[in-house]
Amino acid sequence: MTQKLFILIYKGEPLDYTEYRHTALYFQFASQSRSIMHIIGCQGLFQFSNNVNCDPSTLGNLVQVVPVTDIPTSIGEDSIRETVSRTPIRNGRLDLDWNCQNWVGDALNRLVHRGWITVEQRADAIDKMADACLEAHDDSDSI
């Protein structure tokens, strides 16, 4: 069995604006275990979270799943988790415009540097994530 990597995009809360869309990395490992890795919280207080064997639809209003790539089974589950979990989180005073969408890009970049995904796969995934985030709209606009 292969290992698969996806980006999850959730509807923004409390309003569905582009910058409020929540994004996460979703791994389906060869062992049949699954991990949703993301940061949670708000600017200045973000923390890493790893939801193991969790159904992605239970974490919020899932609006899109972007396939990124298959990852070789020769790369261990623990190595992937450790690499992603060490993605720096920017909680500084000058990082007020930084969010989970940036973190997903940074985490994918770490996978590129390890040689586990290609620059092209990262770029394509980021483009699709950005497109999904740009589809956000506040429901009150339709009233």
pLDDT at 13: 86
Burial of 84 per CB tally in 10 Å (0-12, 13-18, 19+) = buried
pLDDT at 11: 96
Residues of the chain scoring pLDDT < 50: 141-143
| pTM assigned to the model | 0.94
pLDDT at 138: 66
Task: Tell me the DSSP string of 85-96.
Answer: HTS----STT-T
pLDDT at 94: 93
pLDDT at 124: 99
